């Protein structure tokens, strides 16, 4: 099962104890999966490929409204684009009662109701990519007004979401890992949140290890390149009379570099008599390089 599927299974099991929160979640599912009244002839129809969203709405309607069982049905439907699921409230008066109850405005919703609406919207039309691959949460909105309303609700929880137009849909998305965690928390998907955080920690640890390895590899490469250049310059310098005139301290470092081509400056310093620090070894090697370059210029 996909990571999104696990989140939706968790959200589908959550039934808010308060009527106002259940209404908010029904409103979200209707906004994202509902059919226009002109198209349905006054019936209330919620249709989606996502069975969990339709079944959740059925349960919420059942618990929120004292409605005769004959008034509502839920069944799979098979069309040209594949199987989908449909909840129908047949009685027009009952359907209008539900529609009237779920008309919401962002500025009149309680915090718990905003959470419930976001939960319903995600259940109906949301997805989260596998956090081991990338951080991406999105909710596909039917129109610009739904996208704007949902953006307002997320903003009230300090979650910054962006929208793009994809074909005829407005897609709200969040790409920051921390904000996705906060969105899961707002929706109440706490098990999924812990799974997401665990995968994010492992991913970031692997990235840190890779960066450290790459950095160390690059440093080794620089050390090897510098050592080879020093060896070449020392060998050229040894062919000149200038080498004979060098002090013993420089000759010692030259001999050590040739004898231990892969040694670091620190290691060369420990081999010196007396022992030297990195800066002392580096100073002497630079002096050898400078002398070698001066000899090369004179020869040319």
Same domain, 178 and 250: no
Residue 58 has which token pair?
């059925």
- Residues 4 and 290: their CA atoms lie apart, in Å, by 64
pLDDT in tens, 18-71: 999 999 999 999 999 887 666 667 788 888 888 899 889 988 988 888 776 666
Same domain, 161 and 227: no
Number of Cβ within a 10 Å radius of residue 99: 17
pTM: 0.69
In a domain? residue 204: no
In a domain? residue 203: no
Same domain, 183 and 233: no
Same domain, 29 and 170: yes
Same domain, 32 and 139: yes
Same domain, 260 and 154: no
- Give pLDDT, residue 185: 95
Domain count, the chain: 2
Parent domain of 221: 209-299
pLDDT in tens, 193-208: 999 988 888 888 887 8
Average pLDDT, the chain: 86
Same domain, 70 and 162: yes
Same domain, 246 and 125: no
Same domain, 159 and 97: yes
Same domain, 163 and 43: yes
pLDDT in tens, 85-122: 888 888 888 888 888 888 866 567 899 999 999 999 99
Choosing from 159, 188, 217, the residue where a domain stops is 188
Closest CA to 224 of 262, 260, 255: 262
In a domain? residue 236: yes
């Amino acid at each position: 099962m996909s990571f999104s599927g696990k989140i939706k299974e968790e959200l589908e099991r959550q039934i808010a104890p308060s009527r106002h929160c259940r209404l908010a979640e029904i409103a979200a599912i209707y906004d994202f999966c509902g059919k226009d009244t002109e198209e349905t002839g006054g019936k209330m129809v919620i249709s989606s490929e996502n069975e969990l969203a339709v079944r959740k709405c059925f349960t919420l309607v059942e618990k929120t409204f004292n409605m005769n069982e004959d008034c509502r049905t839920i069944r799979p439907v098979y069309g040209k684009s594949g199987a989908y699921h449909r909840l129908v409230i047949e009685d027009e008066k009952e359907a209008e009662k539900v529609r009237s109850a779920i008309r919401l405005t962002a500025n009149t919703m309680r915090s718990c109701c905003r959470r419930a609406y976001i939960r319903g919207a995600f259940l109906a039309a949301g997805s989260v990519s596998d956090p081991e691959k990338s951080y991406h949460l999105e909710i596909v909105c039917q129109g610009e007004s739904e996208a704007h309303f949902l953006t307002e609700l997320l903003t009230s929880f300090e979650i910054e979401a962006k929208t793009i137009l994809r074909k005829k849909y407005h897609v709200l998305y969040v790409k920051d890992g921390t904000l996705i965690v906060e969105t899961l928390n707002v929706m109440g998907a706490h098990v999924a949140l812990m799974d997401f955080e665990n995968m994010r920690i492992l991913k970031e640890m692997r990235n840190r290890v890779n960066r450290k390895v790459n950095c160390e590899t690059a440093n080794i490469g620089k050390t090897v390149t510098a050592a080879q250049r020093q060896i070449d310059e020392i060998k050229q310098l040894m062919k000149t009379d200038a080498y004979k005139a060098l002090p013993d301290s420089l000759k010692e470092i030259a001999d050590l570099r040739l004898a231990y081509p892969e040694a670091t400056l620190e290691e060369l310093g420990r081999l010196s008599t007396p022992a030297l620090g990195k800066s002392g070894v580096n100073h002497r090697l630079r002096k050898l390089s400078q002398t070698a370059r001066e000899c090369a210029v004179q020869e040319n």
